[in-house]
Structures are given as C-alpha cells and as structure tokens.
Amino acid sequence: MHIGLALLMILSVWLRGDWRNWQKYHTVMLYYAIGNLTYNFLTANYFLWRMDGDFISNHTLTEMIYTFIIFPGTALLFICNYPSDLRKIIKHYLFWIGLYVGVEAFMTITGHIDYQYGWNLVWSAAFDCIMFPMMRLFYKRPLLAYFISIFIAIFFLWYYKVPVHLPVEER
C-alpha cells in the first residue's frame, strides 16, 4: 500500500508537477518533511497514529517513504498547481483535503494505519484542514508559518498529553 502510494506520487509529480522547477518549491517540501520528522521524534514512544509497514517495509522504512517521497511530492503538487481564482482555490483545498482523508480512510479500513490515545480519522481530517493552508502560508511567509506551527504543535502535544522527555545529559 505505502510503496504503491509512493510510486503513484512519483508518477503524479512527473505528469502533473512542475518538477523541472523543483527548486522553487523545495522549501515547502522540506517544511512538510521536517514536520513529519518532528512528529516522529516527539512522539516516538507515544504515537497518536502509526503507519504499519508493507510486505517489504517496517514502520521506520514506511515513515521514510512518506517523509522523503510522498509528503514532498504532495507539497510540490499542491503549491505548483495553486490557482489564483477564489472559487478554484476553494476547490483546490477541498480536493487535497478530500484526497488525504479518503486515502487515510482506506488505510484505516485495510489496517495500514493505527490510531492511539484518542486520535482518529476526524482529527486527521481536521489536521489536514490546517496543514494545507499552512503549506501555502509557508510558501508565502515562511517565518510566520514556522511561528504558527510551533503553537499548533504545542496545542496537539498538550491536548493529547504527549509525554515529551527532553534528553538529560549524564555526567
């Protein structure tokens, strides 16, 4: 499932993305990847959701597929095809949010994603409604997006009581 999504993303970027000008979008691609890496680091012992590996990948490899292929590809496709007309902008957001919710619902049904500690598909859908506007904001105003992202992360860590233990230096 996850490997198939990665291959589909590569094909989509090749067919519909402005991959020749990827440098124009690479900061948004990195923003999304860093967000996923941060989630995995902060919740390593308290995952709210967890991708289950495919037949040839474990959890770590699956997260690497998402972090380095699927999520950057999403960012590139989302930003490079961003319309200018308000009606089309709304359709653009609805398409991407609907696509992410639909794929995640399918992954939930097929057992490729597990939820814990109260997280569920509704929370994922709400997060998608935040995530896509944040990608656009990052493209336009990166410092503001970083600032807001910190508060979004703090909210989710607090709301879900994620035990964040900072490493203590041993002497």
Tell me the pLDDT tens digit for each residue of 49-101. Answer: 998 877 777 888 889 999 999 999 999 999 999 999 999 999 999 999 999 99
What DSSP assignment string belongs to the chain? -HHHHHHHHHHHHHHHS-GGGGGGTHHHHHHHHHHHHHHHHHTTTS-SEEEPP-TT--HHHHHHHIIIIIHHHHHHHHHHT--SSHHHHHHHHHHHHHHHHHHHHHHHHTTSEEE-TT--HHHHHHHHHHHHHHHHHHHH-HHHHHHHHHHHHHHHHHHTT----------
Task: Specify the higher pLDDT residue, 60 or 124.
Answer: 124
Q: Decide if 51 is inside a domain.
A: no
Q: For 148-163, what is the mean pLDDT?
A: 96
Residue 170 lies in a domain: no
pLDDT > 80? residue 123: yes
Residues 101/124, Cβ–Cβ less than 8 Å: yes
**Which residue carries 């990052």 as its tokens?**
138
Q: What is the CA radius of gyration of the chain?
A: 16
Res 169: pLDDT: 66
Domain that holds residue 112: 2-17+30-45+58-159
Q: Looking at the domain assignment, is residue 171 inside a domain?
A: no
Quick check: is 50 in a domain?
no
Domain count, the chain: 1
pLDDT over 70 percentage in the chain: 96
* Residue 24 included in any domain: no
77 alpha carbon, distance to own chain's centre:
13
* Res 167: pLDDT: 63
